[in-house]
Chains A and B, each alone.
Chain A
């Protein structure tokens, strides 16, 4: 089965990297959308359904925390699993973001297989 994902990060290089490592890891994508911040992500979600959202936290404008709040507040969007990708590996931050509604958390740096594993766990995909 192939999945539709949305990558939200203010760094074009990071968005490109995340997309590449998802593909390299063997996780099948049928569509991959990109957004530079939370506001752009919400715009994409007005027109496109996705199976998962991968989001950075520290972004200008609508940051990752606010994106999680807005997703949780939206009846149609709250069911989409969001996975945070962040350099911040402190336990306080991870717990805070999970409490805001994130379903997964990947700390940068990460290996491609770690990102795939978190996507599969979050989406309930059976392991190979």
Chain B
């Protein structure tokens, strides 16, 4: 591969991977809101 193509490919893909990972981790790390929320799986009634 030529260096221009390699640089652009690696830079673009690493950026997209990093941003995707960052937002997804934020979703996973954000504590759930107080009940009742939108998500039935963690509802007391369902346990």
A binds B: no
Chain A interface residues (CB < 8 Å from chain B): none
